[in-house]
């Protein structure tokens, strides 16, 4: 049983999350996005560790950009994170509108084409734009979507977040839990989505991402090799007052490769990270730069403001 102080802290953050959610949902979109943008800017100013990580990441990926340009990109990334957070918190509203304002460049048609091959389809994506909105949109258009997710360490908040995902038609599978639901989805001719752009410390392989070795979950590649499922790299980003989907050509597991063959796994992960890098460079302000994607490269500061 958890100590009393931890239970009280969890209850406080759960209550705070519900209060913020209700307050944000009552605001019209321009005011809501403005508020969340301001909160993200405040976070950038008040969180020196995350700011240091983001600066190091930007320096690694864009070494040729002058520092003022990278600082401008960092501010744009904070703004985008705030605006996309507002839209994610209002996923129920997007669903009720039929996702009006979300443009599709042919991603759904491409996925249906892959599904016609009879092996299901894997969506390869990352923390681009409003990724929760991407999941809801695909679930709506495809009749459901299985999504591999992280687990929020506050169970009531985790249940709250997964509740609005389920209402949007998503079936969530914890990345560190039983993976059999993913197999059932693919073998049943469905679509599963995996966000592969963060260091999750779950069965990783070190493969290049933006030219530097990055811990990348190997389970994704092993699953694709085991099932022969084609993979479609997909991202979402802001376009005008709405959002737009984009995709790259599909990736295909090598025929006949063993699921535990290190070479085959690494080859597929390299292709996956190359696709994610392409999507990142197309729209850098809408990637989450504040995560320690490259341990040891983006070392946080010692707590002093920078």
Reported confidence tier of residue 237, pLDDT bands at 50, 70, 90: very high
213 strand-pairing partners: 208
pLDDT at 294: 93
pLDDT at 26: 84
Higher pLDDT, 281 or 255: 281
Model pTM score: 0.91
For 181, 219, 260, 277, the CA distances from 254, given in Å and listed in that order, are 23, 16, 13, 21
The number of residues making up the chain comes to: 306
Indicate whether 44 pLDDT > 50: yes
Mean pLDDT of 5-10: 71
To 5 degrees, how large is the angle CA 161–CA 146–CA 198? Answer: 70
For 80, 160, 224, 230, the CA distances from 33, given in Å and listed in that order, are 9, 21, 38, 36
pLDDT digits (tens, 9 = 90+) for 263-296: 899 999 999 999 999 999 999 999 999 999 998 7
pLDDT at 200: 83
Q: Collect all residues with Cβ–Cβ distance below 8 Å to 134 and sequence separation of at least 6.
A: 125, 128, 234, 235, 236, 245
pLDDT at 12: 73
Indicate whether 192 pLDDT > 50: yes
pLDDT at 276: 98
Indicate whether 245 pLDDT > 90: yes
Domain extents in the chain: 4-91, 99-286
Do residues 145 and 139 make contact, with C-beta atoms less than 8 angstroms apart?
yes
pLDDT at 175: 82
Indicate whether 229 pLDDT > 60: yes
Indicate whether 10 pLDDT > 90: no
Rounded Cα distance, 207 and 218, in Å:
10
To 5 degrees, how large is the angle CA 257–CA 267–CA 261? Answer: 40
Q: Which residue has the tokens 């737009």?
A: 244
Mean pLDDT of 61-73: 97
Rounded Cα distance, 175 and 53, in Å:
24
For 172, 173, 219, 234, the CA distances from 177, given in Å and listed in that order, are 11, 7, 12, 24
Indicate whether 1 pLDDT > 80: no
Mean pLDDT of 34-49: 93
pLDDT at 143: 96
pLDDT digits (tens, 9 = 90+) for 130-159: 999 999 999 999 999 999 988 777 777 788
Mean pLDDT of the chain: 90
Indicate whether 174 pLDDT > 70: yes
pLDDT digits (tens, 9 = 90+) for 87-109: 999 999 999 999 999 999 999 99
Indicate whether 303 pLDDT > 80: no
Rounded percentage of the chain residues whose pLDDT exceeds 70: 92
For 227, 257, 271, 300, the CA distances from 252, given in Å and listed in that order, are 11, 11, 10, 37
pLDDT at 161: 83
Mean pLDDT of 246-273: 86
Indicate whether 160 pLDDT > 60: yes
pLDDT at 224: 94
Q: Collect all residues with Cβ–Cβ distance below 8 Å to 185 and sequence separation of at least 6.
A: 120, 146, 171, 191, 192
């Amino acid at each position: 049983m958890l100590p009393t102080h931890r239970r009280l802290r969890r209850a406080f953050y759960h209550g705070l999350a519900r209060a913020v959610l209700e307050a944000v949902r009552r605001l019209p979109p321009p005011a809501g996005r403005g508020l969340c943008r301001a909160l993200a800017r405040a976070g950038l100013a008040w969180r020196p560790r995350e700011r240091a990580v983001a600066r190091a990441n930007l320096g690694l990926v864009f070494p040729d950009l002058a520092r003022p340009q990278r600082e401008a990109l960092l501010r744009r990334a904070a703004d985008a994170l705030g605006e996309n957070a507002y839209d994610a918190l209002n996923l129920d509203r997007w669903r009720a509108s039929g996702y009006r304002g979300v443009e599709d460049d042919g991603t759904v048609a491409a996925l249906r084409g892959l599904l016609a091959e009879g092996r299901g389809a894997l969506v390869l994506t990352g923390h681009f734009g409003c990724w929760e909105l991407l999941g809801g949109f695909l679930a709506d258009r495809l009749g459901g979507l299985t999504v591999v997710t992280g687990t929020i360490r506050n169970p009531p908040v985790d249940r709250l977040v997964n509740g609005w995902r389920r209402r949007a038609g998503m079936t969530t599978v914890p990345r560190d839990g039983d993976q059999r639901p993913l197999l059932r989805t693919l073998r049943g001719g469905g679509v599963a989505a995996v966000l592969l752009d963060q260091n999750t410390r779950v069965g990783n392989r070190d493969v290049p991402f933006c030219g530097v070795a990055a811990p990348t979950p190997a389970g994704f590649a092993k699953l694709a090799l085991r099932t022969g499922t084609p993979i479609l790299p997909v991202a979402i980003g802001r376009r005008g007052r709405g959002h737009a989907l984009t995709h790259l050509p599909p990736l295909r597991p090598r025929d006949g490769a063993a699921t535990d063959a290190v070479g085959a796994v690494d080859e597929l992960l390299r292709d996956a990270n190359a696709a994610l890098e392409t999507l990142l460079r197309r729209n850098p302000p809408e990637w989450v730069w504040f995560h320690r994607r490259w341990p040891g490269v983006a070392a946080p500061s010692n707590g002093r403001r920078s």
